[in-house]
Amino acid sequence: MTSAEIIARTLAHEVPIYARWPVAFVRGAGAELWDAEGRRYLDFFAGLAVNNLGHCHPAVVEAVRAQAGRLLHVSNLYHAPPVGELAELLCRHSFAERVFLCNSGAEANEAALKLARRWGHAVGAGRFEILATHNSFHGRTLGALSATGQERYRTGFLPLLPGIRLVPYGDAAAMEAAVRPETVAILVEPIQGEGGVVVPPADYLPRLREIADRHCLLLMLDEIQTGLGRTGRLFAHEHAGIVPDVMTLAKALGGGVPIGALCTSERVARVLEPGAHGTTFGGNLLACAAASAALRVLADPATLAHAVAMGRRLRAGLETLAARHPRIRSIRGMGLMLGAVLDGQGRDIVERCLERGLLVNCTAEVVLRFLPPLVIRPEQIDEGLGILDEAMAG
């Protein structure tokens, strides 16, 4: 099948909610992809922060192959080894003592919102309100969307859920001022991803932790984009030296296979009893096997050290480009989650990069976003920067 045939078939039958670029990929390895005609592309997007281990990482492929030949699904009425294995690994590598497994980021956040409501009813004297932030992104289900502070995702879907209120991001004083007797939880991203790679002040998360403690709130961190090595630590909150009460994960967790997770403490998990929440495919055996394999590699100090080194190299290269191209106003981000803030819309640059064989993305309209696989090699970073340099020149 040619790329044109693949594209035509999708466009003819899919609900048209995705503004796809006109390329069709058939194969990938590490930070490289190939289209149906065999043309090679360098990937600085990693499937939107999913392919942190690159495409078809051998450990993930092998785990999927082995599990696929053994057992795919048994439901949550029974036990099977991959579930406990992944849950144990997640607890070993984080603050968590309990995990709830699901299928996506929105679903993990939905579980967090329900957990906060349940916590409020169980121990918080009927408190229910969740504070989230402007410019955030937490997913497309109605609950997650109600915590998403960007108008363009909400248009046409009102009314959203009551009991979720938005406050300015990065402003701890505004967060504290917003706390009311009915408030039960705070939900924030450690760095806003879809909002434009917005890094809050260094004391933001520590101050939110203090506020949560002072007012008996749950501090819930959405690490769906920032997690699993993306910022150079396994979880972005580690940079701030704090521990949340709840953390949501998805994207990179499955090494390319869909999975989400809510991680929390024993104390908080206790408010959910059998039957209180659930999902048919939560803890699917194939997804769990893939995730355990991926997590072992992602949590390896060598993987994280490489991500830090590649992040420094990419950032230095972007700073050099910023000095040469006046359209770039500033560079921001952490690790391999970087953004170049432009003086206007960046779609034309993304298009020219694609024509030259480089995948990048533009978010919040004016922020070129760079999310390469953590396993990217130094010469691939340099090659991508070279393509970007040409694309910026027009």
Site residues (CB under 6 A) for ligand PLP, limited to 248-267: 250
Site residues (CB under 6 A) for ligand PLP, limited to 156-195: 189, 193-194
Cα end-to-end span (Å), the chain: 32
Q: Give, in order, the Cα–Cα distances in Å from 283 to each of 80, 99, 100, 139, 280.
A: 10, 10, 8, 20, 9
137 touches ligand PLP by CB under 6 A: yes
Q: Report d(CA 304, CA 302) in Å as an integer.
A: 5
Per annotation, catalytic residue among 44, 45, 137, 370: 137
Which residue, 3 or 141, is less far from ligand PLP as judged by CB? 141
Q: Give, in order, the Cα–Cα distances in Å from 166 to each of 129, 134, 175, 289, 372.
A: 11, 6, 9, 37, 31
Note if 137 is an active site residue: yes
Residues 89 and 124: beta-carbon distance below 8 Å = no
Note if 222 is an active site residue: yes
- The amino acid that residue 104 corresponds to is S
Q: Report d(CA 166, CA 314) in Å as an integer.
A: 33
Q: Binding residues for ligand PLP, how many (CB under 6 A)? A: 15
**Nearest CA to 33 among 49, 47, 48, 20?**
47
Stretch that binds ligand PLP, among 67-75, 88-96, 103-111, 212-220 (CB under 6 A): 103-111
- 3-class secondary structure, 357: coil
**β-pair type (25-29, 32-35):** antiparallel
Per annotation, catalytic residue among 222, 235, 245, 370: 222
Which residue, 95 or 153, is less far from ligand PLP as judged by CB? 153
Q: What is the contact mask toward ligand PLP in residues 58 to 87, using x (rule: CB under 6 A)?
A: ------------------------------
Closest separation between CB of residue 110 and ligand PLP, Å? 9
Stretch that binds ligand PLP, among 131-139, 164-172, 329-337, 347-355 (CB under 6 A): 131-139
45 touches ligand PLP by CB under 6 A: no
110 touches ligand PLP by CB under 6 A: no
Site residues (CB under 6 A) for ligand PLP, limited to 216-235: 222, 224-225
For 264-269, which contacts have Cβ atoms below 8 Å and span 24 or more sequence positions?
A: 264/96, 264/97, 264/98, 264/99, 264/100, 264/115, 265/95, 265/96, 265/97, 265/98, 266/97, 266/98, 268/98, 268/115, 268/119, 268/218, 269/97, 269/98
Which residue, 48 or 299, is less far from ligand PLP as judged by CB? 48
Choosing from 30, 120, 124, 139, the residue that interacts with ligand PLP (CB under 6 A) is 139
CB-nearest residue to ligand PLP: 105
Task: Phi first, then psi: give them for residue 149, nearest 5 degrees.
Answer: -95, 50
Which residue, 41 or 137, is less far from ligand PLP as judged by CB? 137
106 touches ligand PLP by CB under 6 A: yes
Closest separation between CB of residue 267 and ligand PLP, Å? 24
Which residue, 303 or 363, is less far from ligand PLP as judged by CB? 363
196 touches ligand PLP by CB under 6 A: no
Q: Report d(CA 95, CA 30) in Å as an integer.
A: 30
Where does 143-254 show beta strands of DSSP type E? 164-167, 183-188, 218-222, 246-249
* CA-based max dimension of the chain: 62
Site residues (CB under 6 A) for ligand PLP, limited to 296-355: none
Choosing from 51, 67, 94, 104, the residue that interacts with ligand PLP (CB under 6 A) is 104
Residue ranges binding ligand PLP (CB under 6 A)? 48, 104-106, 109, 137-139, 189, 193-194, 222, 224-225, 250
- Active-site positions read 137, 222, 251
